[in-house]
Amino acid sequence: MKDKVIIITGASSGIGEACAYAFAQQGAKLVLAARNIDKLKQVKLHCEALGAETLLVKCDVSLEDDCKNLINQAVAEFKTIHVLINNAGISMRALFSELDLLVLKQVMDINFWGTVYCTKYAMPYLLAEKGSAIGVSSVAGFKGLPGRTGYSASKFAMEGFFESLRIENLKTGLHVGVICPGYTASNIRNSALNKEAKSQAESPFDESKLMPAETVAAYILKMITNRKAHQVLTTQGKLSFILQKFVPRVLDKLVYNTIAKEKDSPFK
């Protein structure tokens, strides 16, 4: 990754922040994007302390113009793009029968459309470099999770988008990869939307017991290096992937029972 130009969306915390540090240690040139500019400045300082050239861009990926500006600024600064990591995302937790439809719209705008916008404007440069377009998905991208209809829909859409994109580019040299972490320690559950499209402000899990974001970042780095197309992380995630193929109705019950046990579960 030495001197490769890497764009990371959602770089102010969680997996995006961990990716920034992982690639900074590799000597990459980083373009860090997020809405939280103050937190992003702290990440930038840390990356520069590791010796990485770093460009900070305030970006709300749900806005097409912000995504276009992100790509334009990256190219103006570094002349090209080698890797785009579509990491920015938001979750939600509420029963579909009770939620405001604004919840689904906000989640789709960020998780799906944000990925589409950034990838679209980065494509000419990624194709020229035979680079990598990466999507950070989830177990919810291949198994619908109850209470998370909007989140699962957005990740299913992302998976379909990237699969089509990968097949379109079988002969162009573009690497398209999708990674599916399990529950990862991050801010995504604290900022997840409730049924009124407001932040739920509290995670239903003990975040200290979840997969560290640094572990996911290491897998993403390896995915890019090895140009791998798809990877599911964690034993639970891999087991879910297999069960979904062969006994999906059994998995339905397991998923329901697991989520019903969450703190403040919508099924209680």
Q: Are strands 83-86 and 5-9 parallel, antiparallel or unpaired?
A: parallel
Angle at alpha carbon of residue 28, lines to 24 and 29, rounded to 5°: 105
* 86/84 Cα distance (integer angstroms): 6
DSSP 207: G
User: Rounded distance, CA 145 to CA 153, Å?
Assistant: 9
Catalytic site includes residue 117: no
Q: How far apart are CA 197 and CA 103, in angstroms?
A: 5
Catalytic residue (choose from 117, 121, 125, 151):
151
Neighbouring-strand partners of residue 67: none
DSSP letters for 112-170: IIHHHHHHHHHHHHHHHHT-EEEEE--GGGTS--TT-HHHHHHHHHHHHHHHHHHHHTT
What b-and-e string marks burial along 160-192, b requiring 16 or more CB atoms within 10 Å of the CB? ebbeebbeebeeeebbbbbbbbbbbbbbbbebb
Helix, strand, or coil here: 205? Answer: coil
Cα separation, 89 vs 180, whole angstroms? 13
User: What are the residues whose beta carbons fall under 8 Å from the beta carbon of 25, sequence distance 6 or more?
Assistant: 50
Question: Cα–Cα distance between 176 and 165 in angstroms, integer?
Answer: 7
List residues with catalytic annotation.
151
